Amino acid sequence: MTTVPFHRRKETKLVFRYLTAASLVVIFVFPIYWLFAISFKTPGEIFAFPPVWYPKSIQFNNYAVLFKDGDAKTVGNSLVLASVSTFFAMIFGTIAAYSLVRFRTGGENLAVWIISQRMMPPVAIVFPVFLFYVWLGWVDTYIGLIILYTAFSLPYVIWMMRGYIEDIPLELEESALIDGCSRWEVLWKVVFPMARSGLFATAVFTFIFSWNDFLFALVLTRTEVTTYTVQVTHYFGGQSNFWSKIAAMSVLGTIPVFITVATLQRYLVRGISMGAVKG
Amino acid sequence: MSDLKITGLHKHYGAYHAVKGIDLEVPSGEFTVLVGPSGCGKSTLLRTIAGLEEASAGSIEIGGKDVTWARPRDRDIAMVFQNYALYPYLNVYENIAFGLRARRVASAEVDKRVKRAAEMLGIAQLLERFPRELSGGQRQRVAIGRAIVRDALLFLFDEPLSNLDAQLRDDMRVEIKRLHQELGRTMIYVTHDQIEAMTLADRIALLRDGKIEQLGAPLDLFERPATRFVAGFLGSPKMNFLPATIETGEVILRDGTKLTLPPGRKAPNGQAVVLGLRPQHIAKAGASAAPGHVQLPSTIELVQPTGSRVQVSMPLGGISITAEFAAHEVTAPGEQVRIDIDMTRAVLIDPQTDKVI
């Protein structure tokens, strides 16, 4: 009987590992690749059998249609709604978190009450909100969705920022107070810069939550502020599905998130791990 | 004129009474050290002076103005914290300039003052660096720099040296003393380290359980402690305390050893006392005893050399006491020596009240 030398065994193990990793990557990345590929294909290529693995020539017609019909505007709507609501949620959430941490506002349990709101299924409140919004005349308006997204993101922002603010040494703030800062200046000059990574990480997630929202946008919009998530569903028809439009619109919807995550990756990793080491 | 006047100050945290009626007046330019064991209320007192804690009762005046309810920034104070409290996202220059910018001082003036402070503290070459690139000692210099640029009426130090290693602590102590001499400002310094207190202070306020146990010049407290606590807290090695009784003008220890009564001290016959003897006042005996000194035979139990001196343990009056001899006066345990006790420097304490008689 021949024995396999030790180094050979190690190599085999490594090869096996790489093969497993590579096949997993293919399984997960393939749908994304397919989405991008379809968005550049002609209608003929989309339905060809056997499948066309990559478009013969890159053509932007599928995108051009979206812009020509004005459907691409829905990505702009999503962008405005998600960015503005994230901005307000971050400002108010951080201030609220600061108050919870430093002034013990609401005692020990308020923070838990706040986060518990996050656990509530959105579908439970969407219809009451709808009726309320009809009364206010806020259905299909920016302000309606911005307020709703802000309110829905606040518990998450407060909960996350609370952890990051607790990590800031109190002495830094006390030193600033003695040096001549007001509480607001302390927030601006000490708390924000100290919690910068956490702020960015939380903002990215808040943005993505609002960006990906489907339910509220479906119920609370008609034509004016339709978001891209709702727009995609318009292409599923009773007779046929517009795969080229679905793919192109989905790609348009992915790009802003991709850019956000790519630019803020540095803060994201630090921000998430900052939260992770906390007990 | 006094820069700081505290009257009847109390601080409660719920049911816990941290500061129990402190009265303290600090004259202009004086270096006052608040010292005491941990939990004695010294840091709370300092933080209340700074306005970081609200007083529960009493008043605080800074520069003749009642600031009891004023915000920290309106008190004309600068403070150095134990953990440096430097902003990690600002370089040394901006850290030092922070307080001036917060008070909207003109840039040219900021530049002048930051550079002058950096010059004084020997950190002029570090202005572009960030706190993470500095050693502990350099960070503390920056923290001190941030306080001195402010040119405040009162400087508060909250255990600024306790995070530094022993060697650096000695260097920084010298630096702070020098700064006080140069600036001539009123400084309040909190520490639990009695060496820091003794070396830096013009006056020491020794705190215990939220009250000032004794207030005075360092040597006054060392040589004329008012209570057993003060006698035991100051001095290293610690003072020896021996239970004794007074009989016919002599101090009789538990084992019957007779010592002369310290001159000028009077106690009734039969009274139980505690005799306090500093290790420095117990020496190896010379040819004859000086007036007020007592010589006795003893056996060395333990020898601890410290370099220039040697600490020795030996029995006296039925307990083990510590004495401090010159470096080579004793060599090994078991050695028979004759010791010389300077009774003129001894203190007698009433065990009922713990007050020095």
What is the domain range of residue A73?
Answer: 68-277
The residue written with tokens 């065990």 in the block is B351
The secondary structure of residue B126, as a DSSP letter, is: G
User: What residue segments make up the domains of chain B, in order of their start?
Assistant: 2-233, 240-349
The per-residue pLDDT for A276 is 45
Q: Is position A1 within any domain? A: no
Query: Is A274 or A135 the better-scoring residue by pLDDT?
Result: A135
Give the type of residue at A175: S
Helix ranges (DSSP H) in chain A: 6-39, 43-47, 61-68, 73-102, 110-118, 122-136, 142-166, 170-179, 183-186, 192-194, 196-212, 215-220, 228-233, 243-263, 265-277
- Interface with chain B: mutation pick from A178, A188, A199, A200, highest number of B CBs within 10 Å: A178
Which chain A positions have a beta carbon within 8 Å of B102's beta carbon?
176, 179-181, 185, 189
Order the strands of the B293-299 sheet from edge to edge. Answer: B282-284, B336-342, B293-299
The answer to whether B60 touches B67, Cβ cutoff 8 Å, is yes
The per-residue pLDDT for A220 is 93
Across the A:B interface, residue pairs with CB atoms under 8 Å apart total 59
Rg value, chain B, Cα: 24
Interchain proximity B102–A179, CB inside 8 Å: yes
* B70 interfaces chain A, CB cutoff of 8 Å: no
A44 pLDDT band (50/70/90 cuts)? confident
A278 pLDDT band (50/70/90 cuts)? very low
Q: Is position A84 within any domain? A: yes
B177 pLDDT band (50/70/90 cuts)? very high
- For residues A74 and A46, membership in a common domain is answered with no
Which of B250, B244, B268, B239 has the alpha carbon at shortest distance from B345?
A: B239
Give the type of residue at B152: A
> Could you tell me the sign of the dihedral formed by the alpha carbons of A177, B146, B60, B56, in that order?
positive
Q: Which of A177, A189, A193 sits opposite B73 (nearest CB)?
A: A177
The answer to whether residue B124 scores a pLDDT higher than 50 is yes
Coil, strand or helix at A207: helix
- For residues A51 and A154, membership in a common domain is answered with no
- For residues A12 and A147, membership in a common domain is answered with no
The answer to whether B154 touches B62, Cβ cutoff 8 Å, is yes
Distance from CA of A190 to the nearest CA of B (A): 8
Last residue of a domain, one of A14, A31, A59: A59
- For residues A115 and A157, membership in a common domain is answered with yes
Give the type of residue at B237: P
Distance from CA of A194 to the nearest CA of B (A): 7
CA distance A112 to A96: 13
* Class of residue A125 by CB neighbours under 10 A (exposed 0-12, middle 13-18, buried 19+): middle
The per-residue pLDDT for A33 is 92
Q: Which CATH class is domain B240-349?
A: mainly beta
Query: Is B265 or B21 the better-scoring residue by pLDDT?
Result: B21
Q: List, as ranges, residues 75-134 from B with C-beta within 8 Å of A.
A: 75, 77-79, 81-83, 85, 87-89, 98-99, 102-103
- For residues A38 and A89, membership in a common domain is answered with no
Coil, strand or helix at B308: coil
| pLDDT tens by residue, B126-153 | 999 999 999 888 999 999 999 999 889 9
ipTM, 2 dp? 0.85
The per-residue pLDDT for B167 is 86
Q: Which of B71, B79, B89 sits opposite A175 (nearest CB)?
A: B79
Interchain proximity A196–B89, CB inside 8 Å: yes
Coil, strand or helix at B259: strand
Backbone angles phi, psi at A142, to 5 degrees: -60, -50
The answer to whether B349 touches B356, Cβ cutoff 8 Å, is yes
Average pLDDT value for residue range B297-309: 90
Which chain A positions have a beta carbon within 8 Å of B78's beta carbon?
178-179
- For residues A186 and A93, membership in a common domain is answered with yes
CA distance B163 to A231: 61
- For residues A11 and A144, membership in a common domain is answered with no
Measured in Å, how far apart are chain A's first and last C-alpha atoms?
55
Structure tokens at B76: 């004309």
Which option is the CATH number for B2-233: 3.20.20.410, 3.30.530.20, 3.40.50.300, 1.10.443.10? 3.40.50.300
| HSE-up (13 A, CA, CB side) for residue A171 | 15
CA distance A114 to A110: 6
A3 pLDDT band (50/70/90 cuts)? low
Tell me which chain A residue has its CA closest to the CA of residue B47: A174
CATH number, domain with residue A114: 1.10.3720.10
Which of A123, A124, A99 has the alpha carbon at shortest distance from A111?
A: A99
| HSE-up (13 A, CA, CB side) for residue B322 | 17
Measured in Å, how far apart are chain B's first and last C-alpha atoms?
34
| pLDDT tens by residue, A6-41 | 777 888 899 999 999 999 999 999 999 999 999 998
The per-residue pLDDT for A70 is 86
Order the strands of the B319-326 sheet from edge to edge. Answer: B302-305, B309-316, B319-326
Q: Is position A106 within any domain? A: yes
| HSE-up (13 A, CA, CB side) for residue B69 | 1
Q: Which of B81, B88, B89 sits opposite A175 (nearest CB)?
A: B81
A213 pLDDT band (50/70/90 cuts)? very high
- For residues A54 and A143, membership in a common domain is answered with no
Q: Is position A125 within any domain? A: yes
State which H helix or E strand residue B298 sits in: strand B293-299
* B49 interfaces chain A, CB cutoff of 8 Å: no
Tell me which chain B residue has its CA closest to the CA of residue A170: B85
Cis peptide, bond prior to residue A50, ω within 30 of zero: yes
Average pLDDT value for residue range B310-319: 91
| pLDDT tens by residue, A133-185 | 999 999 999 999 999 999 999 999 999 999 999 999 999 999 999 999 999 99
pLDDT over 90, % of chain B: 68
Distance from CA of B122 to the nearest CA of A (A): 22
Q: Residues of A41-57 as b/e, b for ≥16 C-beta within 10 angstroms?
A: bbeebbeeeeebeebee
| pLDDT tens by residue, B146-166 | 999 988 999 999 999 988 888
Average pLDDT, chain A: 89
Domain count within chain A:
2
Which chain A positions have a beta carbon within 8 Å of B146's beta carbon?
175, 179
* A274 interfaces chain B, CB cutoff of 8 Å: no
A42 CB contacts (<8 Å, ≥6 apart)? A55, A59, A61
- For residues A147 and A86, membership in a common domain is answered with yes
The per-residue pLDDT for A165 is 93
Q: Across A240-254, B32-46, B241-255, which has the greatest mean pLDDT?
A: B32-46
- For residues A22 and A115, membership in a common domain is answered with no
A108 pLDDT band (50/70/90 cuts)? confident
CA distance A94 to A114: 13
| pLDDT tens by residue, B179-225 | 999 999 999 999 999 889 999 999 999 999 999 999 999 999 999 99
The CA distances from residue A29 to A3, A36, A57, A101, in Å, are 39, 11, 22, 42
Give the type of residue at A42: T
B52 pLDDT band (50/70/90 cuts)? very high
pTM, to two decimals: 0.83
* A172 interfaces chain B, CB cutoff of 8 Å: yes
Which of A153, A150, A145 has the alpha carbon at shortest distance from A126?
A: A145
Structure tokens at B157: 């130090």
- For residues A100 and A139, membership in a common domain is answered with yes
Give the type of residue at B235: G
Structure tokens at A136: 């206010």
The residue written with tokens 């220059």 in the block is B93
The per-residue pLDDT for A229 is 93
The per-residue pLDDT for A4 is 66
The CA distances from residue B143 to A174, B81, B87, B113, in Å, are 13, 8, 10, 15
The per-residue pLDDT for A111 is 82
pLDDT over 70, % of chain A: 95
- For residues A34 and A157, membership in a common domain is answered with no
The answer to whether B122 touches B98, Cβ cutoff 8 Å, is no
| pLDDT tens by residue, A66-87 | 899 888 899 999 999 999 999 9
The answer to whether residue A279 scores a pLDDT higher than 70 is no
